[in-house]
Structure 1
Amino acid sequence: MYPSPVTAEQNRTAPAPPSGRPAGAVYADRGSSHFDILLAAMVTVVILSGIGAAKGVSFGDVPGTGFEIITDGGFFLFPLAYVLGDIITELYGPRSARRAILTSFAVSILASLSYQVIIALPPFPDEYGLAKQEALELALGPVWIVVLAGLAGFLAGQTLNSLVVSRMKRRMGERGLIARLFTSSGLGELVDTIIFCAIASVAIGITTFEQYVEYTVLGVLYKVLVQYAMIPVTSAVIRWLKRTDPTYQRRLAEQGTGAA
């Protein structure tokens, strides 16, 4: 049975590591607390984003600029995957983050294969059944391209995101949470969006290089700004999870007293 969580006041007054010793990184056990909930949320977000991203979205030209706002149907949801990735990396470490990334896309591939099987199954031969078949082919047919784009982009971007968070935490310890979130978010989303848009643009109906540039630029700006806007909430959730996870608090106490 784990010892009682250390209070915030005890954390503030715990002895600092010996002089010259790096603060190091503290992580909770994956089998404790909220990892399963965070993993389930990430898997759900990735699958829903893959379906939504198969739809191209246009809000028309920005008045006076001639700049068309082009995005996809998953734009409003996908940044949450990076928020969840930040939380998992900060609490449970880079290995757990890699497990979450790979699990998300293993399930996403399964979903994409399932869509193709559903499309291939013979429909009812009446007018309604044939209409539904055509609609499924149009809606779910291109999803595998979006999943492929997501695999390439999210794997690269989220891995970079997790690497930055874990490296900075190893160097800074519990300090600098906001700096970690700011730095990792921008780099991860930039790499992800460039790769994703290059592959997925075909699936959503983008036909010109100008549209691709607009789609990519808007995607980078939107995703980074959303993540930056979410940082106060993300950091508050991380701090709450740290306080309520007994294994995290135990390791903080061990580090504070110089224990291995």
Structure 2
Amino acid sequence: MVANILKDKPTKLLLGISAFFVANALIAESIGTKIFSLEKLFGLHPANFSLFGQSGLAFNLTCGVLLWPLEFVITDIVNEFYGPKVVRRISFTAIGLISYAFLMYFLAIGTPPADFWLGSQKSSGIDNMQTSFNAIFGQGMRIIIGSLVAFLVSQLVDVYIFHKIKKITGDKHIWLRATGSTVVSQLVDSYIVLFIAFSGVFPWQLILGIGIVNYCYKFTMALVLTPVIVLVEKRMEKYLGHDVARKMKKAAMGQEEALTPIPTAG
């Protein structure tokens, strides 16, 4: 049975994609505590523009947004070849493992630190390693909940819109359904996390302004990564073979033609 699974190209491919999807999501959540300046990254001065009466806004983003666009690329590719049920399954798996990781972070924070470790990095300007550890891994609970809820809802929205567009376009124009589903789901993602995490903390005008700034970046990345989706689709078709890829896409759409099941031992 195991040998048959490992020889089956669609199964091997899904295992690899799923592992990367979960790992990428967990890394994005973990590095999301750092805020960086997009303008400074390109050697520019902060934009300092105004929205909804809020001045001094700039493209200050969490490092997590560097990786999140890849999640939506993977979602669209899995949707194309494996269907919405598989997307939902790997999304729930990712959320479960991210929740587990944050639980372990909080348990690690609560463990008593060794005395020698506390001041082990004073030469690097870190007076207390426990304080630094807490600051990095101890994200606010509302931010964690907001991020997970936003991730799940935006994934479901992405899947829904992707298939609505695919029913109209058929197997053609993957760039249209991939980009269209992503630009809508990213808007949902941007505002859900902000309102859950910061409602009552920041004025709603500021939340709206920050959301637009974040969405501008995500929208741009959706356009930039569109050729990547087309390229990955072609590479997957080449790896799987045209006939297998065609059957997978039909099965993903709920049509009758599907792959022959993997034979089991005995």
Distance 1:253 1:232 in 2: 19
Q: Aligned partners of 1:248 and 1:114: how far apart in 2? A: 41
- Letter of the 2:223 partner, please give it: Y
Aligned counterpart, 2:247: 251
Output the CA distance in 2 between the equivalents of 1:86 and 1:208.
Answer: 35
For residue 230 of structure 1, what is the amino acid of its counterpart? L
Where in structure 2 are there 5+ consecutive unaligned residues? 1-7, 40-44, 51-55, 121-126, 258-266
Match of 1:221 in 2: 216
**Post-superposition offset of 1:138:** 0.9
**C-alpha spacing 1:252/1:161, structure 2 compared with 1 (3 Å):** closer
State whether structure 2 residue 100 is matched by structure 1 residue 89: no
Aligned twin of 2:66: 76
Q: 1:140 to 1:230 in 2, by over 3 A?
A: same
1:53 alignment partner AA: G
Deviation at 1:156, TM superposition (A): 0.8
Aligned to 2:193: 196
| TM score, norm. by length of structure 1 | 0.76
- The yes-or-no answer on 1:44 pairing with 2:23 is yes
Give the aligned partner of residue 103 of structure 2.
Answer: 113
State the secondary structure of the residue aligned to 2:114: coil
Counterpart check, 1:61 vs 2:40: no
Report if the CA contact (8 A) 2:25-2:94 is conserved. Answer: yes
**Count of equivalent residues:** 227
Identical residues among aligned pairs (%): 21
CA shift at 1:143, angstroms?
5.9
Superposed displacement of residue 37, structure 1: 1.2
Give the superposed CA RMSD. 3.0
Unmatched tracts of structure 1, length 5 or more: 1-28
Task: Tell me if structure 2 keeps the 8 A contact 1:57–1:73.
Answer: yes
TM-score by structure 2 length? 0.74
**Matches of 2:224 and 2:211, distance apart in 1:** 20
Verify the 8 A CA contact 1:112 1:143 in the aligned structure 2: no
Structure 1 pair 112–252 and aligned structure 2 pair: CA distance change class (3 A): closer
